[in-house]
Amino acid sequence: MITQLELEYGKFQDETSWYKHAGEGDAGELSYLALGLSGETGEFADAVKKIVREVGQLDPDAFERIIWEREGVKDKLLDELGDVFWYLNKLLMLLGTTHAQIMVRNTYKLYSRLMTRSHIDLTELEWPFSDPGLNFEAIQEEYTLLKDKTTDGV
């Protein structure tokens, strides 16, 4: 279910998307959005890299101090994640899905993968969703039907 906030954010995005192919739902739009997502993810990673360069990876206290105490560092990370989110949300809209559907789909994929690994004891890892409509068997059936419709394995 799409929330009012998601609807309003999507409308704002549509009204302010001025790139070529915006709203066309074609390969040009998909390519632009995928490259934008990649670029913004790279900017987030670069901001993290600068913190790691300064403190290294072996001093978690120093790492946390920079993020939580140094002026502007956390805001920079959140701003970059906002840009990542912008592209991700546009891609979700382009592909006709929602954040919730992707969360459930990804959880099913990862949970199913864990079920096939013998070194994982799933008695300790319960299916995380309490909504009866999101039980594992229902999601498994839906996911199987979707996979059956895929013809080219992309």
Residues 112-134 pLDDT 10s = 888 777 666 666 678 888 888 88
Nearest to 80 by CA among 36, 120, 118, 121: 36
- Residue 138's pLDDT band (cuts 50, 70, 90): confident
The encoded tokens of residue 23 equal: 């709203």
CA–CA dist 7, 124 (Å, integer):
37
**Percentage of the chain with pLDDT > 70?**
88
Q: Is residue 151's pLDDT more than 80?
A: no
| Helix ranges, 22-133 (H) | 27-55, 60-69, 73-94, 99-115
* Model confidence, pTM: 0.81
pLDDT for the residue numbered 36: 97
Unique residue bearing structure tokens 């939580």:
68
pLDDT over 70 at 16, yes or no: yes
Number of residues that this document lists for the chain: 154
Residue 150, pLDDT score = 59
